[in-house]
Amino acid sequence: MDEHPIIFIDADDDDHEMFKQALLELALPHPILVFANGQTALDYLTTTTDIPFLIISEISMPGMNGLELRKQIDQTPELRKKCIPFIFMTSPVVDHLVEEAYELTIQGMFEKKETFAAWKAQLAAIIAYWTECHHPKRFTR
């Protein structure tokens, strides 16, 4: 299977629905996968041959949080080689977490927008950037 899903990791079911609705309205060619915590996302990432297009994660979640997930990805050679863009989308943004997150070589941190329209526009900009960006593993086989 040669899929390039967009992965969203967040414990909030309402955020899952808003994310899926926004991406549906943006009519993107990528499958959408949502996970409630870092461990379930890591389980998927370590068992799939797919190279995700993008990972968007909340920082604060029960169980394995976003920072721990990023550490696990970076410490797993097979996942690190996939060069999956990893960003945080969180609320509220806390200064010390921004510093800690960037020490983990993330590609961005964004504060969740308050309205659906603003969140959809934010996601559209993020995805447009990564669609145009050249980086390892962003090529057709």
Q: Annotate 60-83 with DSSP letters as a single string.
A: --SSS-HHHHHHHHHH-HHHHHT-
Q: How many domains does the chain have?
A: 1
Q: Kindly report the CA angle at 64 between 74 and 111, in degrees rounded to 5? A: 80
- CATH of residue 111's domain is 3.40.50.2300
Token pair of 5 as six digits = 């899903």
Segment 14-38 shows an average pLDDT of: 92
Cis peptide before 31 (omega within 30 of 0): no
Domain boundaries, position 91: 6-132
In a domain, residue 141? The reply is no
Confidence of residue 135 (pLDDT cuts 50, 70, 90): confident
Residue 140 in domain: no
- HSE-up of 140 (CA within 13 Å, CB side)? 0
Q: Is residue 139 part of a domain?
A: no
- Confirm whether 1 is domain-assigned: no
Token output for 4: 């390039």
Classify residue 118: in a domain, yes or no: yes
CA–CA–CA angle 131, 132, 134 (5° rounding): 100
DSSP code at position 97 = H
46-103 pLDDT, tens digit each: 999 989 999 999 999 999 999 999 999 999 999 999 999 999 999 888 889 999 999 9
pLDDT of residue 1: 43
Q: Give the pLDDT confidence score for residue 136 in this predicted structure.
A: 75
CA distance 26 to 83: 24
